[in-house]
Amino acid sequence: MPHSTRSLFFVALLALATGAGCASSPPREATGEVPEAYPNHSFDDIRQALVRGTDTLQRFTAEARLSLDTPEFDRSLSAGLRARRGATGDSLHLSLSQMGITAARILVTPDSFFVYNALENELTYGALSDAGGALPAPLRTGRAFENLLGLTAPRTGRGGWQVRPSTAEEGNKRYVLTSTGADGTQRRLVVDPSRWRALRYTERSADGTLLDERAFSQFGRFSGLFLPRRVKLRQPPQSSSASIYYRTLALNPPRLPPFELNVPDGAKRTLVSR
């Protein structure tokens, strides 16, 4: 990050790939109980269950507590979030504050980003592909919607994933999905079949160094879907971590407030370009 206030913007998750498993009947809707077919679900079964119902989610609003720990910033903030899905990607608006004082507002669209630092009255903006250090990589994926709601699921069309039931040390009655990329990158996804949601994702380099870790917990039902109230993120190479706790979460509200930054006319404006 160029300076400490930009460290406020470390949020979000990531997307995965796919794999293979053993055959079984398609799993039913999550009930909160481990299905009778466990541990015989195939990879296709698991992926189908993870994405079931999520395609109906088009909008959400939330109030959250965001705790950050980076080399330049260690603080907890209140965060107001709203997001909408589009044909070309997600749009996300965040408002960050502390003790009632607005610290920053962020707008990310499928092709652009805008970060208004209210503390320094500065707007940083540009093409999403040029964001670089002005915006953390997870917000540049175009998949912020699914990431912030913990809807991590393997993607079709990419092979290499293996599926097995968990051991006692890994947690009872879980599925563990693993894959190794052509560059030796090791990916691991733990899935809870009682809720059909990801619990943890890790990515390690070929030598075993932890690169990314994502954990989801304190699940609740929202409009019939199990979603996490708490999301924890770690990027050890950057000595960065974040924890998001949703106080409120509303799915598919009839309408969203405008995605406005309300930047004063006298604010400093900095265009980021490569």
Q: Going residue by residue through the chain (274 aa), what tens digit of pLDDT does each one get?
A: 444 334 434 333 222 222 223 333 444 456 678 999 999 999 999 999 999 888 888 999 999 998 877 665 677 889 999 999 888 888 999 999 988 899 889 899 988 999 898 999 999 999 988 876 676 555 666 677 777 888 888 876 555 889 999 988 877 899 999 998 889 999 999 999 999 999 998 899 999 999 988 899 999 999 888 999 998 888 888 777 888 899 999 999 999 988 989 999 999 999 988 7
Residues 227/248, Cβ–Cβ less than 8 Å: no
**Stated pTM of the model:** 0.78
Q: Taking the CA atoms of 162, 166, 171 and 175 in sequence, report the sign of the dihedral they define.
A: positive
Q: How far apart are CA 174 and CA 171, in angstroms?
A: 6
Its domain, for residue 243, covers 4-272
pLDDT value of position 237: 84
What pLDDT, on the 0 to 100 scale, is given for residue 64? 94
Query: Are residues 24 and 37 in contact, defined by beta-carbon separation less than 8 angstroms?
Result: yes
CB 255 within 8 A of CB 60: no
Q: How many CB atoms lie within 10 A of CB 232?
A: 17
Length of the chain: 274
Tally of domains within the chain:
1
Residue 180 near residue 165 (C-beta atoms within 8 A): no
CATH of the domain at 146: 2.50.20.10
H/E stretch holding 46: helix 43-51
